[in-house]
Amino acid sequence: MTRYNAPLKDMQFLLHDVLKISSSDIPGYADLDEGFTGAVLEEAGKLARDVLEPLNAVGDRTGCVLENGVVRTPPGFKAAFDQLREGGWTALDCDPDYGGQGLPYLMGTAVGEIMVSANMALNMYQGLTHGAYSAIHVHGTDAQKAIYLPNMISCRWTGTMNLTEPHCGTDLGLMRTKAEPQGDGSYKITGTKIFISAGEHDMAENIIHLVLAKAPGGGEGTKGISLFIVPKFLVNDDGSLGTRNAVAVGKIEDKMGIHGNATCVMNYDGAVGWLLGDLHKGMRAMFTMMNEARLGVGLQGYAVAEAAYQNALDYARDRLQGRNVTGAKNPSGPADPLIVHPDIRRNLMDQKSFVEGARALTFWAANLIDRGHRMSDSAAEGLVSLMIPVIKGFQTDKGFDMAVQAQQIWGGHGYIEDNGVSQFVRDARIAQIYEGANGVQAMDLVGRKLAQDGGKHVMAFFEMVKVEVKAQEADPRMAGFAGSLKVASKQLQTAAMFFMNNAMKNPNAALSGSYDFMHLMGHVCMGLMWTRMAHAAHVALDEGRGDADYLRNKITTGRYYMSRHLPACTMHLARIESGAEPVMALAAEAF
């Protein structure tokens, strides 16, 4: 009942008119001309539309089944996963030394959006593998890389990340899983991990678990934690698969959504593992992957909203109900389509302007990640590290809200599972929770990222916005954008100042406003993106390039964002400035 078409034109506009990638100085970007990126995205779009999307509802309805220690993925998943593998889609931005295609992370991000929109649950199998690949790529020994990377790049072997235990999620210092050194370089891992996405399934020959555990001598809390490679099947020296390791799935969870992905309880019962990276530096090893993992979840936020939007739009065009208040638009029919009604428009414009803004922000961040990795640009790395909690927290919150709004357009029919739009809401919900719940993102932003490197990165961000405002306010066509962005950015600065002035006396003053700050900053980022996009659209129109209708609609959509979304900044600032007192006044017993 649902459908998905990749937003190719919008992606191409971002890559070539906004980010101007093929004239970038980032190594590897010069090859990314319009023809090339267009061809890659078009192929990805076909696979998404024809193979992945039709399985999205199947995955939701069927779910994964655990029987006798074996997890069966939904019918069709394995064949689709094979197509992903065989088409090289899992190798896109991986290291050519190990069989990857070496494309920039930005290209992986654009293709990733398409895959997630089409089928979030299925795409997670490769997404988790990519995360584990990155960890081994950065922290592994040459021998480890040689053994694991080629098979993980091809997704013949998939990967997992094992952090959470029943009694600890955010607070990993409470971890109980133990690693005992065996004297031969290996460890025996014992403990229970929960919420392990793709922990067990029938689509790969081997599963490479990356497991956080405590090895002796590391001290209390997170200091004692190390990261281990624990394969499901041990790997012989010749690369063939050996004995089954002592790791087993204990249970798969019955969740609100992403039913097509097996969320497992994993029991490690003296399983053989090998240290990845330095002993007792497991948290640091995990954190090096955090930016990409969180960007990936922020991407899920708007990618699912994009799919929901497309299906809400179809319904708004097809469903005949009521008459346009200023005169019938479909006089020969029994009623006008929903899309004539202003409140339906408001709803659709909310979705459209959010999704396009979030896509721009995500692509820009991916571009910064490439700049950081490929040019060792620490300013880019600092900026993206500031941006990551915003992208993860703001985009998944808004992405969920927009999926809910999309469902609302379907009325009662949106509440019926057969129609498929409820799945978008249920799937999108997890992105607000996993990979650091959004409250934790807000704490990371306000408690760590703002002050990081002496506040250098947030100052650079403010300066960047200021430069953009200055550049645009002279152009009368852009003055509205520049003016709105300026106001919002001042509000963000005022909020940051409030934290600086109050947090020393009372840390709760900052932490009480952290969630609102994350959203306030999200809107400013989106305002910046919309200003850049509108400017790029004007330039393209002036130069007579591109699809003039598309470009004009882009500017109109941006105007909507600036006038209808950005006013939230005033609200967030007022909440922040009310300080800790209202939040903390009630005694814990008084709730």
Positions in 194-223 near a second copy (CB under 8 A): 194-195
Give the nearer residue to a second copy in terms of CB position, either 30 or 328: 328
- Choosing from 306, 381, 435, 468, the catalytic residue is 435
| Least CB distance to a second copy at residue 566 (A) | 9
Interface region with a second copy, contact rule CB under 8 A, candidates 138-146, 161-169, 450-458, 462-470: 161-169
Question: Kind of pairing, strands 206-214 and 157-162?
Answer: parallel
**Rounded Cα distance, 212 and 193, in Å:** 9
**CB of 384 or CB of 388, closer to a second copy:** 388
Task: Give me 402's structure tokens.
Answer: 């927009």
User: In terms of DSSP bridges, do strands 233-235 and 225-231 run parallel, antiparallel, or are they unpaired?
Assistant: unpaired
Judge whether 100 and 153 are in contact, CB under 8 Å.
yes
End-to-end CA distance of the chain: 45
Q: Least separation, in Å, of the C-beta of 16 and a second copy?
A: 21
- Output the CA angle 11-12-18, nearest 5 degrees: 90
| Contact with a second copy (CB under 8 A) among 515, 522, 526, 551 | 515
In the list 154, 162, 164, 311, the residue contacting a second copy (rule: CB under 8 A) is: 164
Min. distance of Cβ 335 from a second copy in angstroms? 6
Annotated catalytic residue 435: yes
Shortest approach of a second copy to residue 412 CB, angstroms?
A: 5
The residue within the footprint of a second copy, chosen from 349, 379, 459, 471 (CB under 8 A), is 349
Q: Is 247 helix (H, G, I), strand (E, B) or coil?
A: strand
Of residues 169 and 455, the one with the C-beta less far from a second copy: 169
Q: Is 279 in the site for a second copy (CB under 8 A)?
A: no
Nearer to a second copy, 245 or 407 (CB): 407
CB 245 within 8 A of CB 233: yes
Q: Dig out the tokens for 225 from the structure.
A: 């934690």
CB of 90 to a second copy, least distance (A): 26
Neighbours of 466 (CB within 10 A): 15
Q: What is the DSSP letter of 329?
A: S
Q: How far is the CB of 530 from a second copy (least distance, A)?
A: 12
Task: Tell me how far CA of residue 72 lies from CA of 80, 118, 199, 201, in angstroms.
Answer: 14, 21, 12, 6
How many residues contact a second copy, by CB under 8 A?
Answer: 94
User: 339 or 360, CB closer to a second copy?
Assistant: 339
Question: Rule CB under 8 A: which of 173-192 touch a second copy?
Answer: 173-174
Stretch of 62-70, 91-99, 540-548, 581-589 contacting a second copy, by CB under 8 A: 581-589
DSSP characters over 280-327 = T-HHHHHHHHHHHHHHHHHHHHHHHHHHHHHHHHHHHHH-B-S--TTS
CA distance 417 to 401: 19
Distance CA 28, CA 174 (A): 43
Among the listed residues 423, 392, 372, 354, the one whose alpha carbon sits nearest the alpha carbon of residue 564 = 354
Rule CB under 8 A: which of 433-462 touch a second copy?
433-434, 437-439, 442-443
Spell out, one character per residue from 242 to 271, where the chain touches a second copy: x when CB under 8 A holds, - when not: -----------xxxxx--------------
Residues 527-556 that bind a second copy (CB under 8 A): 549, 553, 556
Binding to a second copy (CB under 8 A) within 403-422 occurs at 404, 407-408, 411-412, 414-418, 422
Quick note: the x/- pattern for a second copy over 297-336, rule CB under 8 A, is ----------------x--xx--xxx--xx--x----xx-
Task: Provide the minimum distance between the beta carbon of 537 and a second copy in the complex, in angstroms, as a whole number.
Answer: 13
List the one residue out of 263, 267, 286, 266 whose CA is nearest residue 276. Answer: 286
Question: Could you tell me the two tokens for 94?
Answer: 């991986």
What is the length of the chain? 591
102: left (phi over 0), alpha (psi -120 to 50) or beta: left
Q: How far is the CB of 504 from a second copy (least distance, A)?
A: 12
Q: Which stretch binds a second copy (CB under 8 A): 7-15, 207-215, 283-291, 346-354?
A: 346-354
Q: 3-class DSSP state for residue 119?
A: coil
Residues 363-382 that bind a second copy (CB under 8 A): none
Choosing from 203, 511, 534, 540, the residue that interacts with a second copy (CB under 8 A) is 511
Positions marked active-site: 435
